[in-house]
Structure 1
Amino acid sequence: MGRKTKVALTVGAASVAAWAASKVVVKSEPRAEKKALQFSELAVVADVHIADDSSVHLLSSYTNVADLGVHGFAVDVQLTKDEEILLVPCTDLLYSIEIADYTLAEIKDEYDMDADQSHESTADCSSQIISLRELLEKFPQLLIIISISDSPDTYEGSLIPSKMWRLLKELDAAERVVVTSLYDEQIDRFNLYAQNSVALGAGSEEIKKAYVAYSSGFGHLYKPTADLFCLPEKFGVFPFASEGFVNFLKQLNIHVFYEVSDTSTMQKLAKLDIDGFITSTPDEVLTYCNQN
């Protein structure tokens, strides 16, 4: 037996010993149950981007979707200049102006001006701009998954976690929302105020960390900081639509929602022990769930 082989065997044995020792010493700690995520059936959460009819107030459009029987909404939010938490379904607006440079009233005026110049509609386009407060007040019975879009490196990004916490406390909404963000730091900042009293979604880094822990065999070392994973079927080289990965998360009392745009992949995903779907086509997904 050559020297290299002996070294490899020694390193391998040491790795196995370290893994075995860590299994004895470290115990997985499941997340505490959160009321917001308790559903008796597969949940369908609607991602409403834009109203079908710009002449209809956006809140009415949300009502129409709620009447389909969805369990909640997924929304992105940003902070305005006057520190209102704004929900902007129209992504074109996000790219045309800097939300943080305008008050809520100014944003509505800007939206109306853009519509007039394009001659696309004579409707009151400002009715398509609503605040998170309005959404929470309108739908107290539904789950709202709130994603913070402001970067933690910006001034508004530094304010929005505390503003969010105050709003949820004022409206007594802490037990019916999930707060998340692509920026893991924003979730951590919000939780400094919430202290795990609000359900938290996993940021992109948290999801990667969990998958690496699962696939490496050292999943027992993973300490979750989120209550909900909202997953695409696949992200880069990570095949998230995996029975093993879902079971790994479920053992930690982490709820799993998959993002779907149509029903073509739902049959495979529904076979996994998941908790729900996030979709921009809630009517199709609800029809599938009701028929199966």
Structure 2
Amino acid sequence: MVKISRLIRNSAAGAAGIFSGLILFSKFKGQPESHPIPPFFTRKSHYIFAHRGGMALRPEQTKLAFDNAKDYEVDGFETDVRVTSDEKLIVFHDATVDRTNNGSGKVREHRLDELQRLDAGYHFKDINNDTPYRNHPDAKILTFDELLELYPDMLINVDLKDSPDSYEGTIAPELLFESIARHDAQDRVLVTSFYQDQIARFSEFSLGTVAVGASQEEVTVGLAKFFTGLGNMFEVQANTFQMPTSYNGIPLTSQRLIQWLNSRNIVPGYYGVNSIDLMSDLFNKGTHTIVTDRPDLAYQYRQNQSQH
């Protein structure tokens, strides 16, 4: 999932003088050609994805979490992948195992078999501050292959986490594409990354057969151009923007922004959406995808909608 930093914080201040000529030009310039909508986004909208399987309810990125989210009828999972020391692709967010498992050290320093012996439910606490999933057989680290095999009908939004400057980062895009192709999952996987280089590397292997999300860099450039009146000059590469609802006090959920994204075939998506009211507001404005830690609330939202 893309996290935006330094987002257009100072762009508006000098925009009037610096870009006034460009703004006038952009009003007479036709919009750049938009990419077609890829198969990933052609299922019935709207999409609701469980963030790391619904990390508020179950130990994140485990079969426990994914099974629970599926029971709440989400459309798919938002997840992450990292590479182990023996070059296996696992479903995991952090660079180290300490926060979520009863082990320590960096993911890249451990073999897959070592990681899968850890207890991924060790630190998880429920609303009563208990640890009910310690030593649970389904609280284990999964490979990305296992995720695709266990949930053949679910959409998967996967984020390449390893830095492009690391050895793991250099091989992760190819490993990911090979796994997707092995399971004939090109139409149900969306690949994103914090890093533009990782998306570019993955695209070299996928050749446009797999939907891709925008990097931090592309989201920042796109939003800066939109907010300074240069939206018509933005040359989009990705199929979707995944954004927080606000950044440093700057709201990112205006209907005008969402309409602009839709007009450019940039699928608008938001993460950190953990209330029914916010889900309703975003979908009413034209948002296509939300990512939530609370699949139970997403289920309640849809139940409420079905009654109207």
Equivalents in 1 of 2:134, 2:28: separation in Å? Answer: 68
Distance 1:20 1:85, change over 3 A: same
Tell me which of 285, 290, 295 is aligned to 1:272: 285
1:170 aligns with 2:178: no
Q: Which residue identity is paired with 2:274?
A: S
1:158 aligns with 2:170: yes
Which 10-residue stretch deviates more, 69-78 or 224-233? 224-233
1:37 aligns with 2:45: no
CA contact (8 A) 1:187 1:200 kept: yes
Counterparts of 1:236-255 in structure 2, within 5 Å, are 236-255=248-267
Q: Report which of the two has the higher share of helix.
A: 1
Equivalents in 2 of 1:284, 1:104: separation in Å? Answer: 34
1:9 corresponds in structure 2 to: none
> Any idea what the Cα deviations from partners look like across 1:133-186, whole Å, max 9, x if unmatched?
101111121110001111111110111011111111111111111000112221
- Measured after TM superposition, the shift of residue 123 of structure 1 is 2.2
2:210 corresponds in structure 1 to: 198
- Measured after TM superposition, the shift of residue 250 of structure 1 is 0.5
Q: Which residue identity is paired with 1:213?
A: K
1:79 aligns with 2:91: no
> Any idea what the Cα deviations from partners look like across 1:109-142, whole Å, max 9, x if unmatched?
3x25996xxxx77725685211111011111211
CA contact (8 A) 1:228 1:256 kept: yes
Distance 1:217 1:131, change over 3 A: same
Contiguous gaps of at least 5 residues in structure 1: 1-11
1:92 aligns with 2:96: no
TM-score normalized by structure 1? 0.83
- Measured after TM superposition, the shift of residue 14 of structure 1 is 10
Equivalents in 2 of 1:53, 1:216: separation in Å? Answer: 42
Classify the secondary structure of the residue corresponding to 1:82.
Answer: coil
1:211 corresponds in structure 2 to: 223
CA contact (8 A) 1:108 1:126 kept: no
Which 10-residue stretch deviates more, 237-246 or 158-167? 237-246
1:288 aligns with 2:301: yes
Distance 1:212 1:113, change over 3 A: closer
1:183 aligns with 2:204: no
Equivalents in 1 of 2:72, 2:224: separation in Å? Answer: 38
2:50 corresponds in structure 1 to: 46
- Measured after TM superposition, the shift of residue 199 of structure 1 is 0.6
TM-score normalized by structure 2? 0.79
1:222 corresponds in structure 2 to: 234
2:154 corresponds in structure 1 to: 142
1:3 corresponds in structure 2 to: none
1:62 corresponds in structure 2 to: 66
- Measured after TM superposition, the shift of residue 271 of structure 1 is 2.3
Q: Which residue identity is paired with 1:204?
A: Q
Which 10-residue stretch deviates more, 199-208 or 44-53? 44-53
- Structure possessing the higher radius of gyration over alpha carbons: 1
> Any idea what the Cα deviations from partners look like across 1:6-25, whole Å, max 9, x if unmatched?
xxxxxx89965544444445
Contiguous gaps of at least 5 residues in structure 2: 1-15, 123-130
Distance 1:14 1:135, change over 3 A: closer
Equivalents in 2 of 1:221, 1:53: separation in Å? Answer: 43
Classify the secondary structure of the residue corresponding to 1:140.
Answer: coil
Equivalents in 1 of 2:149, 2:90: separation in Å? Answer: 14
The CA RMSD measured in Å over matched residues stands at 3.0
1:8 corresponds in structure 2 to: none
> Any idea what the Cα deviations from partners look like across 1:14-52, whole Å, max 9, x if unmatched?
965544444445532212111111232321111125596
2:5 corresponds in structure 1 to: none
Which 10-residue stretch deviates more, 269-278 or 144-153? 269-278
Which 10-residue stretch deviates more, 40-49 or 211-220? 40-49
Equivalents in 2 of 1:125, 1:144: separation in Å? Answer: 23
Equivalents in 2 of 1:149, 1:59: separation in Å? Answer: 20
- Measured after TM superposition, the shift of residue 249 of structure 1 is 0.7
